Amino acid sequence: MKLYAPHVGHLEGLEELLTGSNDIYGIYMAGTPDYVGTGRTNLSAPGLEEIAEQTEYAHDKGVKMEIVLNSSCMGGQHLTPEGYNRINWYFKQLNNQGIDSITVAEPYFVEMLAKEYDMEVVVSVLSFVDSPQKAEFYENLGADTIVIDPVVNRDFAKLEAIRDAVSTDLKLLVNEGCLYQCPLRYAHFNFFSHANGPGPKLNVLDDYYYYKCLSLRINDPQQLIKSPWIRPEDLGEYRHITDIFKIGGRTHFPNWILNNVQAYANESYDGNLMDLLDCPKDLKDLFYIPNKELDAAISQWKQCTKVCNKCGYCQKLAEKIIKVYSTEGCETILKPLKENGGQ
């Protein structure tokens, strides 16, 4: 198994990760947002020298280094002569630092990188590759690896079709807790891309999408079960698709990342599934989902037709196993979902 782990971006964090585990095949982190942003929040913006230093350190440990520049919206900046020159200069510098791969979401960048540089070109999860047709498109642009949109993580026919359609490597993001078929997905990532990109910076009052995302789950907790995460125990079910797995979570402490690495490397986790999910991380203090009680669920999901209103499996499962953290006096206790008005 090739396991890619997130990294917040500073050398101390990387040292902690790579001395803490021998199971990490590759590390990925954002670059500086001055050229191309990323589709998620970042805790740091390592400059070229820092990237060079960390790449060398990772390589000394036998670990691959991947830079993520997966802005889902560039606002057309890359199509201007100045924008193209600026971004191309940055790609050239990254190439010179010896990084192994670069993840992008913008199709233009996939083609540009494939034509001009030796770095492995990885198509981001934010390119939303959820069909063999899209996968073929990116392969034809020059992609070496495609990170499949998690929306099809439980659609095995689709996964198999993608596998059969292309000869690129395929990577699966295992612990994204986004809503299944999230209607906010494109707008939220576009917002992040601008907020974490070259600017102009917006004076945003509230992240509406995040509030809504949490609210949808609190008002309908079965959404937690429907999210297309892959449990550590279920990795074996995906081996015929790929052996490359990616853990999400670049805004977490190294300790959290290492806990995830251990869980996925061992293909087992005895605890709250919410501990492993990258987002929405705030809800791990609200919901308790006993991971081991989900052992049989993959059998259902493998034959799932995704017609939830006729099936009701995830709803029943949510009612049965999800607990809610509640306070009584000074103590935190777990209560069944139903006592807290769940569905």
Partner 1 sequence: MTITEILANNRGDLETKLRNLLAKPVFIIEMDVFALPCGCKGITINTRGLQYDDLEIFEEYINEYLKTTSENLEIEPSFLFARVVPGTAEIASLNSRVLCNRCYMDFARGTGKRPRPDIYILYFTRRD
**Stretch binding partner 1 (CB under 8 A), from 85-93, 178-186, 204-212, 224-232:** 204-212
Q: Give least dist CB 181 to partner 1, A.
A: 20
Sign of CA dihedral 41, 37, 118, 149: positive
Q: Shortest Cβ distance from residue 253 to partner 1 (Å)?
A: 19
- Name the one residue in this structure whose structure tokens are 């297309």: 228
Going through 127-234 in order, the beta strands assigned E by DSSP cover 145-148, 169-173
In angstroms, rounded to a whole number, what is the distance separating the alpha carbons of residues 308 and 100?
41
Contact between 321 and partner 1 per CB under 8 A = no
Measured in degrees and rounded to the nearest 5, phi and psi for residue 245 equal -125, 145
Count of residues that interact with partner 1, criterion CB under 8 A: 25
Q: Which residues make Cβ contacts (< 8 Å) with residue 54, sequence separation at least 6?
A: 11, 14, 29, 46, 65
Distance in Å, CB of 206 to partner 1, minimum = 5
If one asks whether residue 202 binds partner 1 (CB under 8 A), the answer comes out as no
Burial of 49 per CB tally in 10 Å (0-12, 13-18, 19+) = exposed
273 binds partner 1 (CB under 8 A): no
CA distance 233 to 244: 15
Of 13-21, 282-290, 294-302, 311-319, which segment contacts partner 1 by CB under 8 A?
282-290
Q: From the CB of 188, what's the least distance to partner 1, in Å?
A: 14
Cα–Cα dist 4/248, whole Å:
9
User: Per rule CB under 8 A, is residue 187 in the interface with partner 1?
Assistant: no
Binder of partner 1 out of 218, 256, 262, 313 (CB under 8 A): 218
* Dihedral angle computed from the Cα positions of residues 226, 231, 236 and 239, in that order, rounded to the nearest 10 degrees: 70
Q: Does 336 help bind partner 1 (rule: CB under 8 A)?
A: no
Nearer to partner 1, 215 or 299 (CB): 215
Residues that bind partner 1 (CB under 8 A): 205-206, 208, 211-212, 214-215, 218-219, 221, 282-283, 285-287, 324, 326-330, 337, 340-342
